[in-house]
Every structure is written in C-alpha cells, then in structure tokens.
Amino acid sequence: MIVIGELINGMYKDVGKAIANKESDVIQHLAADQVMAGASVLDVNTGPYSQNPKDDMKWLIETIQGVVQVPLALDSTKADVIEEGLKLVAKRAIINSTNADEAKMAVIFGLAKKYNTQVIGLAMDKSGVPNSKEKRLELAAAIVAKAMEFGINAEDLFLDPIVLPLNVAQAQGSEVLESIREFRLLCDPAPNTTIGLSNVSQGTKFRPLVNRTFLTMAVANGLTSAILDPLDKELMDAMITAELVLNKAIYCDSFLEAYRKR
Ligand code: THG
C-alpha cells in the first residue's frame, strides 16, 4: 500500500493556525512523524481558510522539504496553486486532483506532463459526487481515457471513488468498496486506486474503529493507496495485517516489526 499521510491539511484547526502564523516547527514535526510512522507520500493542503493559498503552498513545501525527502501530493482544487507547488518539489509529485470534467482534465493532465507527475482522478464532475457505482465507473473510465490521450501511464494514475461520511451517506459505503474493485479492471496494467479514508468517519462517534474497518474492507477490494492518518497505530497495524492476509507479504511472527523496518 502507498500510504499518503493526511495530517498537513489546514482543515485541522492546529495546522490551519500553524499555516497562518508560519509556525514551521509544527509542520516539520508532522512531516517527520508521519514518515517515521510509515507514510511514503505526504498530502499538502493549505485548507479552506488560507488567505493566500499560493504562498501558503510554497511555504509548506519548503518547510516540509527541510526535514523529509518523500514525494508530496499537492492537494488543491486550484490549478495555479498546484503549479506554484510543482515548481518547488524535490521529488516526483502527485497532483491531488483532477475530476472527470473535460476542461479540468485538460489543465491537470497538461500540468502532469509538463512537470512529470502522477495524478489522482476523482470520480466526480460538475454535478458533484455520484451516488451509484455505475456513475462512478463511467466517470473513472472518462479519466482513464483522457489520461491515455495525454500519454500518462496507468500506474501513474490514482482513481478515487470518493468516500463520504457513513453517518450521512450510509448507502455509499458499499458503492465505494465495489468501485475500488471495478476501477482496477478499467485498463491493463491496472490503475492505482486511492481514498480519503478519514472522510468515512467524519461526524461519527467511533472514528478510529470506522476508519480501521473501512480500510480493511477496501484493502480486500484491491485498494493500492490511501490518504490516512499514519499516526493511528492500530489503523496502520490493521492495514499491514490485511495485506498479509491477502498474501502480499510473507508471514512471520514479527511481521509488524518487519513492515516498519522496511
Ligand atoms: N480524496 C482525495 N484527497 C482528499 C480527500 C479525498 N484530501 C482531503 C481529504 N479527502 C483527506 N484528508 C482528510 C484530512 C482530515 C480529515 C478528513 C480527511 C478530518 N479532519 C478533522 C474533521 O474534519 O473532523 C479535522 C478536525 C480538527 O480540527 O482536528 O476528518 O477524499 N483525493
């Protein structure tokens, strides 16, 4: 599994404050801790309250790259914010994200070619997040087709069925899980899949349990990547064990330690 650490996101109150006040130590600790805990990529999102997302994105990237050397997933709905970031990244980045809208894909896949990046494609369009797996598959297929047109390899594409909170969109859980399985069949070699895991538990009472259960089920459906909180040790242990059950790693009694030492 490609673990994308979600914690550098201005949506978190403390992180939003750290961005506004340019508290680099807060960001650098979050970066180092997530990588230590097993994140191989860090999501970078200035959050909804950023007054100047371009400058904040640039500051976050430079601050993070002062302490860790992992690829970054630049998470913004604004292409100009992403492009400012792409000029600064030290490692091959992931653009988070495009949707299935024609004009949006043209801009984002253009940037992906120009800066040689990977791309997350959200199975949604102008009319929002679909509520069926059929519509999700249709939108994901449009993203795959457009990526191919731009000469982007399937393994550089991460298809995201879009996870919604269980407490307000309960019927969507199984649609998303089935979408993960179906997206893998869209091309050969298969595209990657990813989810914003914590969306599923927003507003629910037992967040870690909901996250852990959903992730395990998604892994069983062939999920290859997730944006999640790598500091949740029980979540990481469940993910590692799920991959073991699927025979993606060799069993030994110390398999958890073995995973961490990689
Ligand atoms: N797909 C893709 N990218 C994404 C998402 C997705 N990026 C953003 C998001 N969804 C994934 N990241 C988060 C980060 C935080 C939370 C949820 C998803 C979260 N935050 C607390 C909350 O809202 O309750 C913040 C509370 C606090 O202030 O501490 O849950 O789906 N491609």
What is the per-residue pLDDT across 44-84, written as a single tens digit (0 to 9) for each?
A: 999 999 999 999 999 999 999 999 999 999 999 999 999 99
Would you state the pLDDT for residue 181? 98
Total domains present in the chain: 1
* Res 206 pLDDT > 90: yes
What is the per-residue pLDDT across 142-183, written as a single tens digit (0 to 9) for each?
A: 999 999 999 999 999 999 999 999 999 999 999 999 999 999
In the structure, which protein residues have their CB atom closer than 6 angstroms to any atom of ligand 1? 6, 9, 11-13, 45, 75, 96-97, 120, 160, 162-163, 196, 198-199, 202, 227
Burial class (CB in 10 A: 0-12, 13-18, 19+), 202: middle
Q: How many CB atoms lie within 10 A of CB 60?
A: 30
Task: Write down the pTM of the prediction.
Answer: 0.98
Report the pLDDT averaged over residues 77-94: 98
Distance 6 CA to ligand 1 centre (A): 7
Would you state the pLDDT for residue 99? 98
* 251, part of any domain: no
Q: Which of 2, 4, 6, 99 to mutate to test the pocket of ligand 1 (most atoms within 8 A of CB)?
A: 6
* 95, part of any domain: yes
| Structural domain harbouring 161 | 2-207+224-229
| SS3 of the chain: helix, strand, coil, percent, to 5 | 50, 15, 35
The domain that holds 100 is classified in CATH as 3.20.20.20
Distance 27 CA to ligand 1 centre (A): 16
What is the per-residue pLDDT across 240-252, written as a single tens digit (0 to 9) for each?
A: 999 999 999 889 9
CA-nearest residue for atom 5, ligand 1, is 196
Would you state the pLDDT for residue 212? 98
* 234, part of any domain: no
Report the pLDDT averaged over residues 99-125: 98
At position 191, the amino acid (one-letter code) is P
CB 4 within 8 A of CB 43: yes
Bridging pattern class, strands 225-228 and 192-193: unpaired
Identify the residue whose tokens are 């914690």: 7
